[in-house]
């Protein structure tokens, strides 16, 4: 199913660390997490909203937030650089419509 109308989107950062020639390399890559009426789509994973029980977050600073997806597979954490309030509110509003 192709999704064209994202209800909300937030950018998350994936950080990879490696050691090359005795030197630590840090690669940060940005991806988007898209909320649709029936699924959440990340870069490598798609979650049916029936399997996402809740979304919460913890703010550490203006640019340091952790977004937690509470799913049937456990809690999945995403590092986001923006305030996730709008994304979380959109999810909670959508979930409450279905209950």
Q: Longest C-alpha distance within the chain, in Å?
A: 55
**Residue 73: which of 97, 29, 42, 31 has the closest Cα?**
42
pLDDT in tens, 12-40: 999 999 999 999 999 999 999 999 999 99
pLDDT of residue 95: 86
49 torsion bin: left (phi>0), alpha (psi -120 to 50), beta (else) = alpha
pLDDT of residue 76: 95
Contact yes or no for 49/95 (Cβ under 8 A):
yes
pLDDT of residue 75: 97
Read off the tokens for 7: 């209800």
Contact yes or no for 39/68 (Cβ under 8 A):
no
All domains of the chain in start order, with CATH: 8-97 (2.30.29.30)
Q: Residues in the chain, how many?
A: 99
């Amino acid at each position: 199913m192709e999704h064209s109308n994202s209800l909300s989107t937030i950018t998350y950062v994936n950080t990879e660390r490696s050691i090359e020639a005795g030197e630590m390399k840090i690669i940060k890559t940005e991806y988007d997490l898209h909320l649709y009426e029936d699924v959440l789509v990340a870069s490598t994973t798609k979650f049916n909203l029936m399997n996402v029980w809740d979304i919460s977050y913890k703010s550490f600073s203006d640019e340091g937030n952790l977004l937690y997806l509470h799913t049937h597979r456990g809690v999945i954490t995403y590092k986001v650089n923006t305030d996730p309030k709008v994304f979380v509110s959109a999810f909670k509003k959508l979930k409450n419509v279905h209950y």
